[in-house]
A and B are shown apart, each in its own frame.
Chain A
Amino acid sequence: MTQITTMTPDVLQAIEHVGRLGRRDFLKFSAAAAGLAAAGGLFAPLASAADLPPGIRHLSGPEYAVFHRLMEVALPTRGTALVPTARIPVLQTLDGALLATMEAHILKGLKGGIAYFNEGPTAMFGKPFVALSDIEARAFCDIWADSDELPQRALVVGLKKLVGLAYWANPPTWAPLGYDGPVTDKWNLKSLGNAPMPTA
């Protein structure tokens, strides 16, 4: 915690440096991240960026790298019955269903926030988030989650929430949880349709 407090000026400099966005823009990002939905099957053909996987249209290469690294450290499945992230289109879901529906000013704030997040560990670990080891990356996330700095808490919660939603929104992730998903058709529940007009 001491480290976070002493690095505050650096963080503020990073905010200034990264994308020339103010604190408010980062907060707007977290507003988008806090209640977002995800849906599979919404993917469109890749428009550009040959170094990015298909289905990634709203992230640059560096932004994709941050999310990919965060996915790796936040959603490990080794030793569990859970479906590995490599078999789920997590970042395609994130891009196609979450980022695609963001208003432009929110998406702009998010992009600044991603860069700010990636630069966050520099003062503490001497390297950006994408270069941290698994142990360092998880420690960094947990330190920021308990930070006295509001943007740091908001960012780490928001970014982890995004990758989490993008994973759990995919129905193949449910079976290992014992969750059976939609049931109305399975249970053969008939629609009651519209109610009759009231008589009084």
Chain B
Amino acid sequence: MTKTIEVKVPKHGLPVTQAADVTDSRIHLKVDAVVVGSGAGGAISAYELAAQGKRVVVLEAGPYVPSEKFAEMMAIAMGTLYQDHGGQNNSHGDIAVLQGACVGGSTVVNAALCFRTPDYYLKRWAKEYGLTNLNLETLTPYFEKVERNLGIAPNQRHETSPGAELINQGLNKLGMKGGVAKRNVKDCGLTGFCFAGCKSDRKQSMLVTYLPWAAAKGAKIYADTRVVQVLADQGVAKGVRAEIIDPATGMKKADLQVDAPIVVLAAGPVQTPVLLLRSGLGNSSGQVGKNFACHPTLSLTAEFDHPVDDFHGATHSLYVDEHTLPEEGGYLLLNAVQDPVEASFQAEPGTGERYMAYMSRYRNTIRLITLIHDKNVGEVSWKDGVKQIHYTVDDEDFEAMKAGLKTNARVLFAAGAARVWVPSSQRLMIESEAEIDRVIDGLKNQPARYRYTSFHPQGTCRMGADRTTSVVNPRGETHDVKNLYVADASLLPTSIGYNPSETVYALASYISDQINAAHP
């Protein structure tokens, strides 16, 4: 084990090897650990392993986009920072499955909202999946650690938005209680551009925290580098094979092989199972890629008779979780600001003049998101060189969505909305509080009928004690391949109904400790 020389954390930016830096057509590296992916799981794993003196290399398929290049335009952000340029969808095409695909991963483009994993799910995971190790007592120090490191704290009073203030008024009128968002944001600039990347580095994403810390501990970071195969010999991980792709041309610039006795997969719940399937590894249970869940969301758009200007402020500032656990309804409400590009496809007022008239009233609109705890009914597959996300909203989950939409609409009308738009393929508007039940009860669970967005794919390499029903053991190592670990939201045995980022932060920290203990 070679000790790295500690250097100071750079004040700004990251030392990253990009395709443009590569001159050799073949590169062969030998390190102690290779980490695939640089988002929440990958960055934390890289830092925690490097901090223990391991030589670490991080391979990120996406580009390195330094924060000063963030354009604060959703359209450009989608093209430069998101998976498939924002075009990743389920096979029906009615759920946009949004993930970051850049150095820093989804932490660069999420809204920084953090929740500890509810004890309800930890107990369920222990009972149903044998994960007795992931109890509150064990995980609490990990939650505390990542909250400290990432500055996770409740929004201050001024960290809100015009729309959130209206929604709060609606909640108060209904006697409902909104929760104050906890976010990994320091001195928020209130630009409202979390989903397009934080240009002033207020959001404590991996780009400005664990990745520079890992680099300071000696970790090497490669961007534009897509891992195509995990290498293993006789059931033991040996490294990975990757391709460095010029993002400007899409052409391969170099082949890269990394020999490493520790392989950590943190490419996210879509790419991690794809990589295992492509490699023919880890799937004796037949569960790789199965059990996909994604927390489908639908946004109701409320129109007011006056301008609200809900486009700057804290991207998220309040939530309502009175009905979030499955037995209580299974839905979560979240406010979010939105720019005109996002607003342009959240409602269907009708084709032509009616649509343009609606968009002309953009300043008068706010949205309130309904997110549902969903069953793990989907699957990520890899066939003929193409990934597919097979997922149809389950009928019972759709009923939870309808219940959530009803509550959502009541809050919006109580907030003073003149009308509320339902995000369906056809024109569908609720004109008064009295119409809510009739309209929502009339919704049918049909593919391509609604405009879903998912920010939380999960569950495709689930963790469990039983190797016949799970992919990864309770320590984060695959059942089938020794020294091959998974450290992203693929691990989650069930969906958790809340934003999963802090769960992934804590699990990656926990698994890193297991790796360090097994490889002192």
Please report A residues at the B interface, Cβ cutoff 8 Å.
Answer: 27-39, 73-77, 79-82, 97, 101-103, 105-106, 134, 137-138, 141-142, 145-146, 150-151, 153-154, 156-158, 160-161, 164-165, 167-169, 171, 173-174, 176-179, 181-184, 187, 189-198, 200
Contact = CB atoms under 8 A, between A and B. Distances in A.
Given A138-B351, A146-B425, A178 B213 contact: no
A183 B312 contact: yes
A145 B425 contact: yes
B426 interface: yes
Contact of A178 (B79, B363, B427, B446): B363
Nearest to B74: A37
Interface in B456-488: none
A62 B359 CA distance: 29
Given A82-B356, A138-B352, A153 B448 contact: yes
A164 B451 CA distance: 15
A171 B340 CA distance: 10
Given A74-B355, A138-B351, A150-B448, A165 B341 contact: yes
Contacts of A35: 78, 86-89, 96-98, 453
Q: Which are the 10 A-B pairs with shortest beta-carbon distances?
A: A37-B78, A30-B93, A35-B96, A182-B72, A169-B75, A146-B426, A31-B89, A31-B93, A154-B448, A141-B351
Interface string B1-29: 00000000111110000000000000000
Contacts of B204: 195
Given A39-B79, A195-B151, A34 B356 contact: no
B91 interface: yes
Given A145-B348, A198-B148, A37 B82 contact: yes
Given A178-B362, A181-B73, A157 B448 contact: yes
B224 to A, nearest CB: 15
Contacts of A167: 344
**A165, A167, A171: most-surrounded residue (chain B CB, <10 A):** A165
A182 B105 CA distance: 22
B425 A153 contact: yes
Q: Determine chain B's interface SS by DSSP, over half rule.
A: loop
A183 B75 contact: no
22 contacts: A30-B448, A32-B87, A32-B89, A34-B96, A35-B78, A35-B87, A37-B76, A76-B356, A77-B356, A79-B353, A138-B351, A153-B426, A161-B345, A164-B344, A168-B341, A177-B362, A179-B340, A181-B73, A182-B71, A183-B191, A190-B200, A192-B200
Contacts of A74: 351-352, 355
B301 to A, nearest CB: 14
A194 B201 contact: yes
Contacts of B216: 197
Given A102-B87, A187-B191, 6 more contacts: A150-B92, A174-B340, A179-B363, A194-B9, A194-B10, A194-B11
